[in-house]
Amino acid sequence: MTECKRVILAVDDSPVILKSISSALSDAYKVFVLPKPMELERVLQKIIPDLFLVDFHMPERNGLQLIPVIRSYERHRETPVLFLSSAESFESICSAVELGACDFLIKPFEPDGLRERVKALIGN
């Protein structure tokens, strides 16, 4: 019997953060990493994530700009989006939530904290 893991798409321009996310979550989830936010639409043609982990500050397209792209897909209108950012201002958090983010995790994060947030949003 093959175990069907939940799918996570992590979008962050930092290879170090993407590696940390993958290391923290890959034993329980199928983790895809996307270092170039401009390629989101192409990737969403190939995979259907159960959760998006999105960096707030990225070149070309920031996390706030990605939420409308994600929500433009009918199947992702309700898919949880967890923001990751070193920007811990109240305004940043409010903006992310207003656009549809479900939660916000400040970088640098502890792997256990990330696992707990992900589990709370989509289970195992």
Classify residue 33: in a domain, yes or no: yes
Q: Are the beta carbons of 42 and 2 closer than 8 angstroms?
A: no
What pTM value is reported for the model? 0.92
Going by pLDDT thresholds of 50, 70 and 90, the confidence category of residue 101 is confident
Q: Are the beta carbons of 10 and 18 closer than 8 angstroms?
A: yes
Computed on alpha carbons and rounded to an integer, the radius of gyration of the chain in Å comes to: 13
Question: pLDDT at position 100, please?
Answer: 82
Per the structure, the count of domains in the chain is 1
Cis peptide bond prior to 80, omega within 30° of 0 = no
Question: pLDDT at position 70, please?
Answer: 95
Scan for tokens 């982990």, then name that residue. 53
Question: pLDDT at position 4, please?
Answer: 84
**Over the stretch 13-64, which tens digit does the pLDDT of each residue have?**
999 999 999 999 999 999 999 999 999 999 999 999 999 999 988 988 999 8
Q: Are the beta carbons of 89 and 59 closer than 8 angstroms?
A: no
State whether the Cα torsion 25-74-34-62 is positive or negative. negative
Classify residue 47: in a domain, yes or no: yes
Classify residue 2: in a domain, yes or no: no
Classify residue 1: in a domain, yes or no: no
Query: What CATH number should be reported for the domain holding residue 37?
Result: 3.40.50.2300
Asked whether the predicted pLDDT for residue 3 surpasses 70, the reply is no
* Residue 16, domain extent: 7-122
Classify residue 86: in a domain, yes or no: yes
Which tokens belong to 91? 């305004």
